[in-house]
Amino acid sequence: MDQHVSERVGALETDVAVIQSNYVRRDEFADLRAEVRVGFARTEAKIDVVRQDMNARIDVLREEMTARIDVLRKEMTARIDRLTATMLKWMFASQLSVAAMAVAAIKYL
């Protein structure tokens, strides 16, 4: 019987050793949590750097686009002004021609 008990105790000791090796102790788990926190902090820091870089690039692009839009707006305004002046000249010329035809028609009638 002693041999049977010693075999069972040996098996239990083996099982306990396997269980202890498979499970994490509190201090090991705390160390793991600390490592994970450090890893997350590093990742967040890198994300912040990338976010700041992207925001800076976006600001530069926004300024460039605003400058280009302003240039195009000035060019378009100048073109519209020139076309308006040309239209007014042609309208005046056509009205003057109609008035000249009316005077000529009245004179020759």
How do the pLDDT tens digits run along the chain, 109 residues long?
Answer: 577 777 777 777 787 777 776 676 777 777 888 999 999 999 999 999 999 999 999 999 999 999 999 999 999 999 999 999 999 999 999 999 999 999 988 888 7
Query: What is this structure's pTM?
Result: 0.53
Give the angle 41-47-52 at the CA atoms, nearest 5°. Answer: 125
Which 3 state secondary structure label does DSSP give 40?
helix
Which 3 state secondary structure label does DSSP give 39?
helix
Residue 60 CA, distance from chain mean position: 13
Could you state, in order of their start, the residue ranges of all structural domains in the chain? 2-108
